[in-house]
């Protein structure tokens, strides 16, 4: 089964990661890594309640990372592995410009 994470920034800027050639990440490691990135990148919750859903975390981490980190292949691959592990869907699109995550 084809597994891919796509991160779409504004305009035509997209990052595609095919997961077949990458080592899978465990759920707990993925949550921990995303939590660390959320904190390190000074991300803010999307919801007024302060509750952060996993899809929200994936979205705001990609937004905060921007081109600077998404252009770093090692970081991008870790992000894609973590995103796949926490959302458990074969095809995931993180559309930063639309502020949406689709499966």
- For residue 11, pLDDT beyond 90: no
Contact 9, 63 (CB under 8 A): no
How far apart, in whole angstroms, are the C-alpha atoms of residue 13 and residue 18? 17
Q: Which tokens belong to 50?
A: 């302060």
Q: Tell me the domain boundaries of the chain.
A: 4-102
With a pLDDT cut of 90, the percent of the chain lying above it is 85
Q: Which tokens belong to 16?
A: 């595609």
Strand bridging mode 4-8 / 91-95? parallel
Q: What is the mean pLDDT of residues 22-31?
A: 97
With a pLDDT cut of 70, the percent of the chain lying above it is 96
């Amino acid at each position: 089964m084809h597994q891919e994470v796509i991160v779409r920034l504004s305009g035509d800027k997209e990052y595609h990661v095919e997961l077949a050639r990458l080592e899978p990440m465990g759920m707990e490691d993925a949550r921990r890594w995303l939590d660390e990135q959320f904190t390190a990148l000074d991300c803010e919750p999307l919801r007024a309640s302060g509750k952060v859903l996993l899809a929200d975390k994936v979205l705001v981490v990609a937004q905060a990372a921007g081109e600077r980190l998404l252009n770093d292949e090692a970081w991008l691959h870790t992000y894609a592995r973590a995103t796949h592990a926490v959302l458990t869907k074969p095809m995931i699109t993180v559309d930063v410009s639309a502020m949406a995550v689709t499966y």
